[in-house]
A = this chain, B = another copy of it.
Amino acid sequence: MPLTPEQQAEIAALRAETRPTFRPVAPGIERRLHEAVPVLDHGFVRVVDYMGDDAAIVQAARVSYGRGTRAVSSDEALIRYLMRHAHTTPFEMCEVKFHVKLPVFVARQWIRHRTASVNEYSARYSVLDREFYIPAPEHLAAQSTTNNQGRGAALTGEEAERVLRWLREDAMRAYDHYEAMIATDGQQGLARELARMNLPANVYTQWYWKVNLHNLLHFLRLRIDPHAQWEIRAYAGVIASIVRDWVPIAWRAFEDYRLNAVTLSAQAVEVLRRRLRGNGWPSRTAE
């Protein structure tokens, strides 16, 4: 159970009543504000705040294109046009802030996305909790034999048991020693900033992560991809569902022109063109 009673009380208080604002309000994400969605065994994702909605994208684009955009009558058509032609700046006009609890090895992948703001729990200042990610049996995957960075089928039987036992026992022992090293009864107590280095990469940390919609979509594109590690995909999937509720029109455009689009290399285009032409397709049409 990832939330402490204090955190649950705080969430309940935040959702107990609304406040009036002159800002635009996006109903789809208002419904999800503050609630913690569980991810993995101890993690979660919570929307803490947001700015903008589908209309904010349109508003910024219409400033850019001025009277020229009046031809594109509907907001949906304009958003799809922007996505299709990679006019990405209007998507930067929406912003969202998440509170995330996640294992350190996931945090290390996540942080490589540089265009976001982050405040992470500091193990120099404070003591980490005894919480470690232990994969569910169905996610205890073997190394892929064909892909250097991939996974094969789940481990089974004795091998699976042994792996899970090691992961659990090593984490518990490391934490026991972490606690014993920083204890100050009857000894000086090791500095927290040193003691933390005994903890394995499946220990949980947490952070506030704030990002604009353009960079968030880029993050999602890379991290809900089947080539991403399953654990970060679990987080990306939850965030994707929140984005779909927040900016439904932008999300559909993103699915059609990014997620489910296919890019053909110059060579593939040539092959395809020849094949289609052979089948009566007029020349130079495939582009």
Contacts and interface: CB of A to CB of B under 8 A. Distances in A.
A149 B193 contact: yes
Contacts of A193: 149, 151, 229
A234 interface: no
Contacts of A187: 155, 159
B118 A89 contact: yes
Interface of A: 14-15, 18-25, 30, 33-34, 48-52, 56, 59-61, 63-69, 71, 84-86, 89-90, 92-93, 95, 97, 99, 103-105, 108, 111-112, 114-115, 117-122, 124-127, 133, 135, 140-144, 148-153, 155-156, 159, 163, 166-167, 170-171, 173-174, 177, 180-182, 184, 187-194, 196-202, 206-208, 210, 212, 222, 227, 229, 255-257, 259-267, 269, 272, 275-276, 279, 286-287
27 contacts: A19-B20, A20-B20, A21-B23, A23-B23, A23-B49, A49-B52, A60-B119, A66-B121, A66-B122, A95-B210, A104-B201, A111-B111, A111-B112, A124-B148, A143-B190, A152-B188, A159-B187, A166-B198, A170-B174, A170-B177, A173-B173, A197-B200, A198-B200, A199-B200, A263-B263, A263-B264, A279-B279
